[in-house]
Structure 1
Amino acid sequence: MNTPATTLAFVESPVQLLNVLEWAHQQAGQQSGQQSGPKPLLDSIPPQPTRGGAAPAPPGTPAGLHIIVLPPTDPMSRGQLRRVTGIARDEGHTVHWQEARGGAGAPFKALAALAGRVRRAERIVVGDPFSRFVQLLLVPARARELVVVDDGTATMEFLAQAGRGERLRRWHRTGGGALGRLKELAYAPVSGNARRRLTPAAGRRVEVFSSMPVTPLPGMELRVNDFGWTRSRFGPPRLTKGTDLVGTSLVETGVVDAGRYLEAVSRLTREHGATRYFAHRRESPEKLRALSEATGLEIVRPDLPLELIARRGPVGRTVLSFPSTVVHTLPYALAGTGVRVAVCDIDPAWLTAAASPRARTFLAGVTDTARDVHRLPAETAPAAG
């Protein structure tokens, strides 16, 4: 941990780590002259020659890329992160696993261990600008170049809030009462510093690397993540005759009512002949057990991000999802395979009383902006009650 890094990347989830690998792959291609100019639109991506397993890393991997994994506490996320960490090391990247949670002193020990490296970094890559720990790490940062890679659809909200000059706040987070507001007030200087750091200014370059349909802020660079690394390393997948359904953690985050969600999954299963349910890493075992008993679906707990699981296969000819990141990423990862991605809207009646006022418009925006996906007709969506 004493060697200075040219580029320092902080990731807290398997998807963030995957997207850092995608960024590094595209960066290496540009450095070696294999890529230039703007990234292609989705419908112009040609099928790439691929193999069934992981391929050796290409030459041109960005020198000095050090990835710091800041794992969450839940076992499923940690398991997926371990798997993707192994892949990252196979690609030739330096990866350090830094515990920053799970105890009263863990965050302070992690900050102390990383502060010097953060100050020396010439470029910093972050996967979650809303993370309070990452925001704290940006306080001592002197890097003149910062990159934000996708943490799913949250990238859309990050750019919207930064553009309005608002404090960075997750779209599904509610007020939290008087104590919550007091904590927000006390933390405001750190959050404000992070927002300024991630906004272009004289002498500071900011890039967003995203699969989401976003508009960069003035002076900000945007590169499209077309999952070129995933497509070059894995697949093409074998297609099954069935339909796969992708789960969501909207119940766990308090946005969608559990009973309504069970009704929705049951109806989609009946109408579309779904046979497998790919669980989100944060879905509770109790909820998944109830879904299996009510629908007969085979519950699959992926050990890698869904983009890699789907690309390796087998995968259904149709993949159904509620509004989530995968309606934007799977069309890229599965380009040229013939898989159809379909999205089912969230009925406003499914939202809980505790859901934030932003929830309805945010989820609708995720669906409205999805490219190359089939939107289920209104009569197919589950009834509100």
Structure 2
Amino acid sequence: MSPRAGSAGPRPASTHTLAFVESPVQLLNVLEWAHADALRAAGEPTGPASGAGTGAEAGGPAPAPAAGPGADASTAGAAPDAAEAASGPTPGTAGPSPAPIPEATGPAGGPVPGTAGAVAHTGLTLVVLSPNDPMTRGQLRRMAELARGEGHEVRWEEARGGATAPFHTVGGLAPLLRRAKRIVMGDPFSRYVQLLLTITRARDLVVVDDGTATMEFVSQLARGERLVRWHRRGGRPGPRDLVFAPISASARRRLTPGSGRRVEVFSSMPITETPDGVHVTANDFSWTRARFGPPRLTKGADLVGTSLVETGVVDPDRYLEAVKNLTKTYGATRYFAHRRESTDKLHRLAVETGLEIVRPDLPLELIARRGPIGRTILSFPSTVVHTLPLALVGTEVRVAVCDIDPAWLTATASPRAQGFLSGVTGTARDVHRLSAVSAAT
């Protein structure tokens, strides 16, 4: 897949590139962007036609032997933090299924064991603005290993480690921000990132995917609207929103091309409204395909969880009924939990559906590519209905999506919710639409 019309030309990562991430998916997409950027700089094609298939074909590591579905979490690399290590598997759940990734440590300047041609000091400094959630922290540490294995510098910031943490974080990053020539960010809605944008003088800004939120970000930028997450639209701004409004407005201006500013959006999502001057580049997951797989396929179906209950969009009882119906209809055996799903909800799902609950230690795109994975992957409207077909191109895996029935929405759900979720499903390519679950209503 070649870059879309209007995409950026070759611009290799320089010693002045600074990336900010707050989630494992954002970190994965920074790695994808850096890989694609290096290929563009070298004049090499990207996308499925470039031959970036299995690890062996692309010069990457041989596929790791896959563990069984009930592999213990310790075999998949537990996070070193005491809080993360103490969290353990969710009651009634299993640890991550896939085999561990080789340790991404090695002599400076040389290949890292288990990686393909990694070299030290690529010129990209990746700053992790760490959240407090143990599951997210664990996945971020695993992704940080991969980033170091690719030769990128990783800086871990305890950005939310107490009342004074933001001041220490911003103060410590200020010199790097002032020197940076290019800023890469995974979440333009983040107040942390918006604050950091007021410090930098960089004229080259890149936004990489943060899932379906990227679609909303680009649309809001095109329409000149204030930046607000889709599930919060329609509500009145709170006191903190009003206090932060000037910084948010400044960030939106910084993310608008002009006055020598170059803005790139690197995305696998369908983008229909492109702001004038914004370069849109396709993310085809060529790094993931080059480094991992192809996966071993199982006979059954796997179900992908969502945090729509946790964000207040979907009623928990309706969600449970939908999962029950999908499990019975399609013979699903495993449920890959979203990192934000609550322990109580997952325990209830395990007890009432019989599903094996899996807490992945990496983003699902990598889990699926490494395998083992079901021949059918069932999902509700989410980012994975767009990303998994790209990561699994050339395999026999079928991705199927179940729409959210309006009756499942909570009374407090944003008026924008149903239309946005329908748009996520309707614009997905290479997925199958499901209707049998409608009986759950």
Shorter-chain TM-score category?
A: over 0.9
Q: Is the counterpart of residue 138 in structure 1 residue 197 in structure 2? A: yes
Secondary structure of the 1:371 match is: coil
Pick the aligned partner of 1:276 from 334, 337, 346.
334
* Distance of 1:213 and 1:127 partners within structure 2: 17
Q: Which residue of 1 aligns with 2:438?
A: 382
Pick the aligned partner of 1:310 from 368, 376, 379.
368
* Deviation by residue 1:213-246 (Cα, 9 ceiling, x = unmatched): 0143111111111000000000100000000000
User: Contact 1:250–1:256 at 8 Å: present in 2 too?
Assistant: yes
Q: Which residue of 1 aligns with 2:87?
A: none
* Distance of 2:221 and 2:50 partners within structure 1: 31
Pick the aligned partner of 2:324 from 266, 270, 292.
266
User: Contact 1:279–1:302 at 8 Å: present in 2 too?
Assistant: yes
Pick the aligned partner of 1:358 from 416, 419, 422.
416
Q: Which residue of 1 aligns with 2:427?
A: 369
* Distance of 2:293 and 2:284 partners within structure 1: 15
Q: Is the counterpart of residue 125 in structure 1 residue 136 in structure 2? A: no
Pick the aligned partner of 2:37 from 27, 33, 37.
27
* Deviation by residue 1:52-101 (Cα, 9 ceiling, x = unmatched): 04753447998421000011111000000000001110111000001111
* Distance of 2:423 and 2:129 partners within structure 1: 30
Instruction: Give RMSD over aligned pairs.
Output: 1.8
Unaligned runs of 5+ in 1: none
Q: Which residue of 2 aligns with 1:152?
A: 211
Deviation at 1:384, TM superposition (A): 5.5
- Distance verdict in 2 for CA 1:129–1:18, change over 3 Å: same
Q: Which residue of 1 aligns with 2:167?
A: 108
* Deviation by residue 1:186-227 (Cα, 9 ceiling, x = unmatched): 211111111111111131110000000014311111111100
* Distance of 1:119 and 1:200 partners within structure 2: 19
Pick the aligned partner of 1:223 from 281, 287, 291.
281
* Deviation by residue 1:146-180 (Cα, 9 ceiling, x = unmatched): 00000000000001111111111011126776xx5
Q: Partner letter of residue 248 of structure 1?
A: T
* Deviation by residue 1:258-303 (Cα, 9 ceiling, x = unmatched): 0000000000000000000000001011000100111100000000
Secondary structure of the 1:277 match is: strand
Q: Which residue of 1 aligns with 2:77?
A: none
* Distance of 2:334 and 2:240 partners within structure 1: 42
* Distance of 2:322 and 2:338 partners within structure 1: 16
Q: Which residue of 1 aligns with 2:302?
A: 244
Secondary structure of the 1:382 match is: helix
Q: Is the counterpart of residue 300 in structure 1 residue 327 in structure 2? A: no
Q: Which residue of 2 aligns with 1:52?
A: 63
* Distance of 1:142 and 1:101 partners within structure 2: 25
Q: Is the counterpart of residue 93 in structure 1 residue 152 in structure 2? A: yes
Q: Which residue of 2 aligns with 1:210?
A: 267
Q: Partner letter of residue 437 of structure 2?
A: A
Deviation at 1:346, TM superposition (A): 0.3
Secondary structure of the 1:160 match is: helix
Q: Is the counterpart of residue 15 in structure 1 residue 25 in structure 2? A: yes
* Distance of 2:262 and 2:238 partners within structure 1: 32
* Distance of 2:376 and 2:186 partners within structure 1: 29
Q: Which residue of 1 aligns with 2:343?
A: 285
Q: Which residue of 2 aligns with 1:200?
A: 257
TM-score (norm 2): 0.81
Higher mean alpha-carbon deviation, 140-149 vs 168-177, is at 168-177
* Deviation by residue 1:297-332 (Cα, 9 ceiling, x = unmatched): 000000000000000000000000000000000000
Q: Partner letter of residue 33 of structure 1?
A: G
Higher mean alpha-carbon deviation, 242-251 vs 191-200, is at 191-200
Q: How many residues align?
A: 373
Secondary structure of the 2:298 match is: strand
Secondary structure of the 2:232 match is: coil
Task: Give identity over the alignment, percent.
Answer: 67
Pick the aligned partner of 1:328 from 386, 396, 412.
386
- Distance verdict in 2 for CA 1:250–1:168, change over 3 Å: same
Deviation at 1:129, TM superposition (A): 0.3
> Which stretches of structure 1, 4 residues or longer, exceed 6 Å deviation after superposition?
59-62
Deviation at 1:141, TM superposition (A): 1.2
Unaligned runs of 5+ in 2: 1-13, 56-61, 65-100, 102-113
- Distance verdict in 2 for CA 1:120–1:300, change over 3 Å: same
User: Contact 1:71–1:78 at 8 Å: present in 2 too?
Assistant: yes
* Distance of 1:133 and 1:185 partners within structure 2: 16
* Distance of 2:425 and 2:198 partners within structure 1: 35
User: Contact 1:46–1:336 at 8 Å: present in 2 too?
Assistant: no
User: Contact 1:28–1:62 at 8 Å: present in 2 too?
Assistant: no
Q: Is the counterpart of residue 182 in structure 1 residue 192 in structure 2? A: no
* Deviation by residue 1:11-32 (Cα, 9 ceiling, x = unmatched): 0000000000001111111122
- Distance verdict in 2 for CA 1:154–1:354, change over 3 Å: same
Higher mean alpha-carbon deviation, 328-337 vs 53-62, is at 53-62
User: Contact 1:11–1:69 at 8 Å: present in 2 too?
Assistant: yes
